[in-house]
Structure formats: C-alpha cells, structure tokens
Chains A and B, each alone.
Chain A
Amino acid sequence: MKGLLAMFEFDQIPFAAEFAENPEPRCPCILLLDTSYSMSGQPIEELNRGLSSFKEELMTDSMSVKRVELAVVSFGPVQATSDFGTPDDFYPPMLTASGNTPMGAAIEKAVAMLEDRKNVYKQNGISYYRPWIFLITDGAPTDDWQRAASLVREGEAAKSFMFFAVGVENADMNVLNQIATRAPLKLKGLRFADLFSWLSNSLNSVSHSTPGDQIRLENPASPEGWALI
C-alpha cells in the first residue's frame, strides 16, 4: 500500500493555511469607517475604543472566534486598514482623523474586497454566511456615490451582502437613506461601545446559525438601544 499518498497532489495552495487550521464556515464583516477630519477628537477616540472592545467581545464566543472574519476599510483617504481575519487575528487599528469623506469609493472598495474574499472561500471549499458591510460616518460623501449606491442595491437584491449604515452626530442621513436599502440608523451620542456590543452579539448569533438562515437581530433602535431610526 506504500505510496497511496503519492496518488494525491498536495501542491502549495494559496490562503490554505488559515482554512486548513480552521475550516469552519465564515461570516465576513467589513467595517467601513469614516476617518475624515470631522471625526477628530472624541468621536475618533470613542470609535477606536469601541473597536478594541469589539474584538474582545467576539473573542469570548467560541464560535465567533472561528467563524467571524473582520476587515476594516477606513476612508479619508480610502484604505484597507485590516484585511479579512478571524477576531484572534484582528488587531484593532488606531484610526486617526484627517482628509475628506470619499464614501462612494470606500463602498466600492468594500464590495470588491467581499467579492475577492468569496472567491477565496470558494477556491478553498469553505462555506460562508451572507457578508455584512457596516458603514459608520459622521458626514456626507465628498465624492460621487451614485455607483456605490447602485452596487449596494444590487448586492442587497441578490442577497450577496447586507449593508448597514450608521450616522454619527451630523451625518447626512438623507444621503445614507439613498445609499442603503435598509433604514440607516442614527447613533445616540457617541455610544460606539454599545454599537459594537450589539454588532458582536448579532455576529455571535449568526455564527451559531447555519449559513443561509434568517437571523432575528435585536432591535438597536429600542428605547434602551444605541440607535434612532
């Protein structure tokens, strides 16, 4: 029987290490974070603090830590601050505020990153949940956002992702309403900690479900929630 193994090819496979060590289905989640100048001071600090507690909360759930994958795209200027990784591999970035609000380009980048990631999953035979895009902004786009808006509409219609928009302080809720098909939420004050706590709970319930299941999310706009509709 010697040499049975030789019948099989084990060529070097890109990206395979993470999936060999952890073949659980993945729930990718992109945080699209506004780091334009208007976020300076307390908002960006609260956001940074929220991000580190987000990681901690996801780490406490033994399923989320294997199934949730986080990526961060910050905009002003648009850059992928962290690429997809499970919470244990996620090191919350220290965001600093500067520049304008190229929200349209940021959304397009996020959609493209999701497509790439899904292809990596498919190539590696990894099942996945419907991805999340979570946009947090305190302003209005300074670039052309029409294409981004149609990408969001198409993606939502095809169920290729869920797009959530959260407005902070003086965010242009009107534009957010035109981009997102789900009603955008308005953050109460600077309750980023509560927002991320809600997000990690929601991702926890997703990661305990089966890919494709409908998940009932806790209403963030309840009186004790962190958001207003």
Chain B
Amino acid sequence: MKRADRIVSGSGMDVIFGQELGRGGEGSVFEVDGRPEVVAKIYHKPLPKEKQDKIEAMVRLKTERLLRFTVWPVEVLRDSGRRVIGFLMPRLNGKEIHKLYGPKTRLTEFAQAGYPFLVHTAANLARAFAAVHEEGHVVGDINHSNFYVTDQATILMLDCDSFQVQSGSKRFGCDVGIPMYMPPELQGVTSFRGMVRTRNHDNFGLAVFIFMLLFMGRHPFAGKYSGQGEMPIERAIREFRFAYGPSSSARQMQPPPGSLPLQLLPPAVQALFLRAFAQESMTRRPDAQEWVSALQEMGGTLVPCAANAWHHYPAHAGSCPWCAMEAATGGLLFRPADSAYRTSAGAAQAGAGSSSADPGGGFHLPAVWGQIQRVPKPAGARTLPEPSSLQPQLSAPVTAYLRRKRWRGALSLLSLASGAGVWIFLPGFWILTVGVLAGFNLLLLAAGRGRRALREERAETCSLLRVRWNEVSRRYIEASGHGAFSAKLQELEQARRDYLDLEGYKAGELRRLEGRQRAVQLQSYLRRQRIDQAQLDGIGPGRRATLALFGIETALEVETHRLARVPGFGPANTRMLLAWRDRIERRFTFDPVLGRVPAAEVLAVERAVEARTRELERRLSAGAAELMRISSGIRARQEAALREAGGTAQALAQAELDLKVL
C-alpha cells in the first residue's frame, strides 16, 4: 500500500489508517482513525477492472440483512487516481468457527459453550447462508476461517469480496474454494475461474459445517475406511462415502470410534444430513431455510444430563451420549462437572443409603465405599486333618496279601508236616521228602517275594503321598491367605484417599506449573544480567572476553561446570563469579502477573484432574465386585484344596498303616 497517496472513501472523506489488524495473502486490514465501527481492507496489488467493479457493485448491494450476518463492504476506498484499492467494512468480532466446533479449543475459547450453544450456532450459520442466498449471492469459498462466531452464538461471514455476487444480470464470480468443504461435483476441479457456483453447492458446505458443529468437530466424510489404500476426505466426498449414514458400511466406511452416532439426533435432522450427502439427492440438498427450522426445533428438544450440568443432549437419545463418549475415549468434550456439584451431590447421597449410582449414573463415594466395606473377608485357613490322627484301614492289596499269607502259612505247615511224615513213614521215598520240602521252601520264597514287592510298592506310594500331602497343605494355606484380598483392599483405600484429595492433587499440579513459570522468569532475569556490564573486581575486560568466548556472557551461564572449562580461570575467580550470581539471584522477585500460568496449561491440568477423577471413580465403583470376586476365588480354591487334602491324608494314613503291618 502506498501510504503517500490520499485515500478517499466512497462518501468523499479522507481516510486515515490506524494500526494494521491483520495481513492476508490478498490484502491487509487496518483500523480507521475516528471510525471505530469500521475497518479498511486494502489490497496488496492493484485490482483488475472486474474486481474493482465487483466491490463497487457490492457496496451498492449492501442490505441491512446482509450486514447482520456478514462483514459486507460498506464504502469503496479509492486512491488519488480514482482506482478502487479496497473498501470499508464493519469491524469483525468473535472467533473462527473451528475454535468452537473442536472440543479442545472450545474448552478454552468458548468455555461456557454447551450443546445448546452449538445447535444455536448451527441454526445461525444456516440463517447467514439464507440471507446471502435470498439476496441472490453464493458464498462459494466455504472454509473454517471464514465464519466467525460471537459469544452470543451469532455468525459473521468474512471475505465477502470472494462471494459470487449477483448484480442485476451481471454475475461476479468466486474463484476459490477448499476441496474439503466442496460438493462431489466440484471435486477435482482445478480452477473455479469462470465457473457458475450455485446455492446447491453452498448447501453441501453448509451441511458439512453444521455436521462439524453437532458432531464435535468430526468431518462427515472422515471415517474408518475398510478398503485398500488411502481414503482422503476429498476422495470420500467424490465417492459419496458419508461415514455415518445407514449405507456407509456398503461403502466400506464406518464412523470413527468414539464419535456421536447419527441416530442419536432427532429424525428430522438425520434426514437432512442424509439428503445433503447422498448421491440420489445431490441435486436437491437441504437449503438453508430447511436447516433453520430443523435446528430450531432440535434446540427445543435438548435435555440436561443429571451427572454433568455442562452436558445437554437430544431427548431422543434416551441418555447422555457425552458421558458415554467421554468415558470411552477419555477425552473431554465439554467442561467437566464442577467438583462442588459432585461433592455436594455425593454428600447428599451418603445418608440416602446403599445405592452406588443415582439415576443419572453419578458417582457417590460414601455409597461406593460402603459397598466395598460390606464385602466379607474370606475365612482363614482351618487346621488340616493330620494323617497320623486318622483311623485308617488297611488297603485292599495288603488285606488280600495277609489273607494269602495265612493260607500259605497253613499250607507250608502242612507240607512241612507231610514232608516229615514221608521221611518217617516212607524212608525209601526220600526223593518225595526232598520234593515236599522244596515245595515248602518255594512257598516261603514266593511269600517273601510277594511281601517285598508289596512293601516296596506301598513304600513308594507312601513317599509320593507324603510329598503330595506337603504340597497340598501348602497350597491350602496359600489359598486361604488374604494376600490378594488385602492387596486389593489396600489399593482401594489408596484410591479413596486419592479421590478425597483431588483438590490437593490439582493444587499440587498448579503449584508445579507456577514453579515452572518462576523458573522461566528467573532464567530470563539471569539472562539479562550481563557480565560485561557487571561490577566484578579482578575480572578485567580480557577475562570477560575469554568468558564470552566460552559462551558465558550472562549470569545464567555462570555455572561451576562451565567455568571449569575456561582456561586460566582459577578457583578464586570462579568463587567470585558464583557469589555474584548468588547475589543477583537473591535480588530476583517473581512477577505473578507476568508469570501467570497460561489458560491452556491450567485447562490441561483440569483435564488431567478430570481424567484422574474418572479413573478413580471407575476403580472404586468396580472395587466391591472385584473384592467379591477375589473373595469367592479364595473360597473356591480353599475348598478344592481342602477336598484334595482330605483324600490325601486318608491315603497317606492308610499307606503308613500298610507299611507298619508288612
């Protein structure tokens, strides 16, 4: 811009510029001296005739209605050669719309905005489009920086000079556009020059922005694509792959995890989105007026959530989707429930009894804690039956052996007697005597071998059983131990203490941030204390130059390990410099205004506190059930071990008795 030139407004007044408010690719925006209600946009380059005509036409076409929703040009600005070089427009207020629909920035930039505010803004955006359309113009360049939202949820459109403007039969075109917000029929267009833009094109972009406002900043065509390759948003738009519609899965699209399901919106609004994004209806997308009435109606159906005063949702949904989505993702969509609200609600419930959850799904520590305390501690280990104290019976093989042994005894006596008889009465038949005696001996031998085998077998069984007995009684004692139960209980007690001290935790985190601010401030303070300007006796300019050579120029760099690297810099000088730094550091006072912790960082702490709160609530709520599970697990293992121990003890006692008799 040539400042030397005299710049004259359409009303013939000289225009004196104030401060530059912003600078874009096309031009700059300035304050205007003496006229706080308007600002001046001045183009960087001389304008072609067509553009000059467009601005003149726009000024002529300004209406009160347009000026309610846009920063429409109100006066032409000319240089001394009467060429149009810019225009005056109403001063803008508000913030870019993406700061509202993105939850992360919404929490800082529009801290008070709940869902009603978003629905209201969406309706106002549609009203702004309706105003532009009904005057015969088309927005054309729809993008996230061109819509401003005020804290009253009203909309102001920017960059009106890029609109497609209809002046009688003359049409001034719109040459720009961002593909992400363009309808399928304009995807892949390389130049918009000379192209006629229609309201139906605009209606696609309008639907995209309404969607982003209602769906926590999600783009309707950004979904999970199950096919091969990449699915950028423009391709998804071109191929009608709306991620939330009933036919989305047929198009290999799925809504992103943790996003709002379309079905939770009132049916009328669902229907408008489907019509705006479907191929069949691409020639008759919902117009701005249709959106206005549907959104207005939707605004009336919103109900508050019982758990969080900042949550409102369509009554149609049945319960609060934001609570569910926040719990699933761990992200924060709206402001967290005020802790005061939570505490008082918890206190009120404490006396009310045993229910751990109120109808809204809230969390009440006293009730939850009561449940945890009511879980019975598992029974301790009983004394196991000692095998020796049992009255066992001999085992079947041993009983059988003993019976056989009696018969064998009788038989061998018989054979001994008959052997003796033969020898006495039939001395000639000594062979028979030998045979009978041999039979007797064989029988004795067999009996001895049977007993040995049986004894060995029983001894082995006995030692195996003894090992098993030791093992099973150890297992029983282990199973009866309260280790897991007490550990869980201790963990829950810790969670309860943490929950009660959330404020303390938050304060600690904030203190940490403040401490960091202090450290940063101290650093920059030290950096301002230059060695070359300091009073340091004995450290002359030469020494100071050497220090500078080693990067030691300010108090900040005065550190023992750095000084140690400087050649010829002895302990005395080092001590002196360190003492100087100490003196300076003691003089430092923290400026709390300058060192205020940035709002975003405070919010990050709040978010962390909220996440911690939820996590503790989750753990505590699950606590009683988990303790119960641990307790019944202990009981089950205990009983199983007891059964096994009983059987083992019996078998062991029997084996020991067997051994005794063998």
Which residues of A approach B to under 8 Å, CB–CB? 1-8, 10-13, 16-25, 41-42, 45, 62-63, 66, 88, 122-127, 208-213
Contact = CB atoms under 8 A, between A and B. Distances in A.
Interface stretch (B8-16, B97-105, B125-133): B97-105
B453 interface: no
Nearest to A159: B230
25 contacts: A1-B316, A2-B318, A3-B318, A8-B263, A13-B257, A13-B258, A13-B329, A16-B331, A20-B258, A21-B331, A21-B333, A22-B105, A22-B217, A24-B217, A25-B180, A62-B99, A63-B144, A122-B225, A124-B224, A124-B257, A125-B223, A125-B256, A127-B222, A127-B233, A211-B233
A126 B258 CA distance: 12
A66 B102 contact: yes
Contact of B324 (A10, A41, A126, A212): A10
Interface in B162-196: 178-180
B603 to A, nearest CB: 10
A1 B316 CA distance: 6
A125 B259 contact: yes
A18 B330 CA distance: 9
Interface string B214-250: 0011110011110000001110000000010000000
B261 interface: yes
Contacts of B548: none
A10 B225 contact: no
Contact of B98 (A3, A18, A62): A62
A219 B317 CA distance: 53
Interface residues of B, number: 53
B70 to A, nearest CB: 21
Contacts of B328: 10-13, 16
B179 A66 contact: no
Contacts of B316: 1, 4
Given A22-B217, A62-B99, A211-B232, A16 B257 contact: yes
A17 B330 contact: yes
A1 to B, nearest CB: 5
Q: A interface, by DSSP: helix, strand, loop or mixed?
A: loop
Contacts of B261: 7-8
A1 B256 contact: no
Contacts of A210: 178-180, 233-234
A123 B600 contact: no
User: Which of B144, B219, B263, B331 has the most CB atoms of chain A within a 10 A radius of its CB?
Assistant: B331
B574 to A, nearest CB: 20
B294 interface: no
B551 A66 contact: no
Contact of A17 (B96, B98, B321, B331): B331
Given A4-B316, A20-B325, A66-B105, A25 B222 contact: yes
B444 interface: no
A5 B318 contact: yes
Given A4-B317, A4-B318, 18 more contacts: A2-B319, A4-B316, A5-B317, A5-B319, A5-B321, A19-B329, A21-B102, A21-B332, A22-B102, A23-B217, A23-B222, A25-B219, A41-B551, A124-B224, A125-B257, A125-B259, A210-B233, A210-B234
Contacts of A212: 179, 232, 234
A112 B545 CA distance: 47
Contacts of A125: 218, 222-224, 243, 254-257, 259
User: Which of B234, B257, B332 has the most CB atoms of chain A within a 10 A radius of its CB?
Assistant: B257
B225 A20 contact: no
Contact of A20 (B103, B255, B551): B103
Contacts of A4: 263-264, 316-318
Contacts of B145: 63, 208
B144 A23 contact: no
A11 B600 CA distance: 28
B179 A213 contact: yes
B318 A16 contact: no
A23 B219 contact: yes
A98 B133 CA distance: 64
A45 B233 CA distance: 41
B486 to A, nearest CB: 28
Contacts of B326: 20
Contacts of A24: 98, 102, 217
B256 A126 contact: yes
A23 B257 contact: no
B257 A123 contact: yes
Contacts of A209: 178
A43 to B, nearest CB: 12
Contacts of A63: 98, 144-145
User: Which of A2, A22, A45 has the most CB atoms of chain B within a 10 A radius of its CB?
Assistant: A22
A17 B107 CA distance: 14
A45 B217 contact: no
B331 A10 contact: no
A1 B103 contact: no
Contacts of B98: 24, 62-63, 66
B327 A10 contact: yes
Given A13-B329, A88-B600, A23 B216 contact: yes
A94 B212 CA distance: 39
A136 B188 CA distance: 36
Contacts of A6: 318-319
B350 to A, nearest CB: 28
A21 B104 contact: yes
Interface in B305-338: 315-321, 324-333
Nearest to A86: B104
Contacts of A124: 224, 256-258
A12 B551 CA distance: 51
B593 to A, nearest CB: 20
A2 B313 CA distance: 13
User: Which of A18, A124, A210 has the most CB atoms of chain B within a 10 A radius of its CB?
Assistant: A210
B186 to A, nearest CB: 12
Nearest to A2: B318
Contacts of B216: 20, 23
A2 B257 CA distance: 22
Nearest to B178: A210
A23 B256 CA distance: 10
B551 A45 contact: yes
B557 to A, nearest CB: 10
A17 B329 contact: yes
Interface string B409-451: 0000000000000000000000000000000000000000000
B621 to A, nearest CB: 15
B103 A122 contact: no
B600 to A, nearest CB: 6
State the 8 A-B residue pairs at the shortest beta-carbon distance, nearest first: A125-B256, A20-B331, A10-B328, A16-B329, A20-B329, A17-B331, A17-B330, A21-B104
B233 A25 contact: yes
A98 to B, nearest CB: 15
A10 to B, nearest CB: 3
Nearest to A125: B256
A211 B234 CA distance: 8
